[in-house]
Chain A
């Protein structure tokens, strides 16, 4: 059977793996982290872009518009949170109107439906908290929001259910082309044979590409810092609010998340270290200040947490998608915004290419449906009653801020791929994601993780080896 190794378990790697699972092939996903969605896919804006932003004819434009159209059905099929909330690009000056019109024309050319320019007053009628300084705006009714890591996890679970094998803590060092055809993927001192490689390594995709391809690539790590507001301020906006790029910069967005928080950001700073997701005072201040231009009511008291993500910016300023100059190695390179939106289309396209090249048959037992973790907080009282009767662990609330029960925690741990650390639990269940930021539930979550996975409390980590939460027992007691 054709063996394919997908490198990277971000949204691109997981969606590609899931689409490949629809064919008769042996698919592995190699991920250097200990879980899916631990890089860019966990720290981005979570926007399903309408598609007016990318230059017509570019890969970004093509995959964005195609990808966005897949979301309504896909989010149902894979059971991840998605909402079509619409977006506005806010313009603050009469001079900006021309630029707004350009965007409108560009969007129309890209095939985006429903775009129109609205006056400042109309914008404020739709979104009362929008600044009075807004002169006019481009309204994009097809824009949406998505839970980016939930989407990645959904793809991964469905891939796994259809036979894809996930190999975590497996960092690929190089890819070597075999003279007889196919590849050896070298990871952690071991060699893994395969017929095809799909490089979905995000900010490190250039490193993977450059070990084997003649055409060298360069990915620039572009840090984006965000802040998240308490759900009580969810009323600040329903739409996603972009700012019209000016000579002063690209601006930041203010948007609801699928969970009802408000997200603010991102900044865009090129950084030398691809894995450094530290937040900075300057970055956060800048994001806050810029966002206040769109929504003057913002105050720092509303913030519950900050984070940053590294985007894989390619020197070409476009996605590189397809077979590389090395036969059998497929690249998904430079996947920055609108990468999340594009992922479903990229995955369909790449899996199609691969299936054609290797004459892959359809997998007759492929099941495209996946059911997510049942969320207690969004159930009706009747549903709650029922589920507690079936499994009393749903009657035990562990995270009080987000109302997450032990039933959900246990489910998240035992899924494939399941949560192995606190951050993994947080992304799957939202435990610790709320206003107390895991102050109350940390000890309890650790205990459940230890119990369900047969590990010691001192082995439980925040985000994998090296981030264990405890350093030992009291009284110097032996472990």
Chain B
């Protein structure tokens, strides 16, 4: 059994999720969105990971990055580790790949801004 706060709306329902023989029992939710969220969090929680890495010769000192899509929650720190030691060189375009297949997730870290050469 796990307790969680629903993030779907400002209500912030406090829900409990219990594993049953044929799935999950969600209580405390006030709408179906809450139930779906609770089951997702139990079965395959995912998060987008964002950070920034140094860039040389650009109009910004750091280039912000994100995982192109959400990755499994348990990979967050492994993914962040894959950014250590990474340096980019300007120019960088929004969407450029910074780290390929981070933490074996199959997802790339991509730049979220342009950095112009200067």
Contacts and interface: CB of A to CB of B under 8 A. Distances in A.
Contacts of B45: none
A474 B83 CA distance: 10
B45 to A, nearest CB: 25
B84 interface: yes
Interface string B49-66: 000111000000000000
A466 B2 CA distance: 45
Interface residues of B, number: 7
Interface string A463-479: 00000000000111100
A398 B84 CA distance: 32
Contacts, number: 10
Nearest to B80: A475
Contacts of B83: 475
B77 to A, nearest CB: 13
Contacts of B32: none
A475 B86 CA distance: 9
Nearest to B53: A475
B104 interface: no
Interface in B15-54: 52-54
B28 to A, nearest CB: 39
B79 to A, nearest CB: 13
Contacts of A475: 53, 83-86
Contact of A476 (B53, B54, B84): B84
Contacts of A477: 54, 84-85
A475 B65 CA distance: 13
A476 B83 CA distance: 11
B62 to A, nearest CB: 8
B15 to A, nearest CB: 35
Interface string A288-330: 0000000000000000000000000000000000000000000
10 closest A-B pairs by CB? A475-B84, A475-B83, A476-B84, A475-B53, A475-B85, A477-B54, A474-B52, A477-B85, A477-B84, A475-B86
Given A475-B84, A475-B85, A477-B85, 6 more contacts: A474-B52, A475-B53, A475-B83, A475-B86, A476-B84, A477-B54
10 contacts: A474-B52, A475-B53, A475-B83, A475-B84, A475-B85, A475-B86, A476-B84, A477-B54, A477-B84, A477-B85
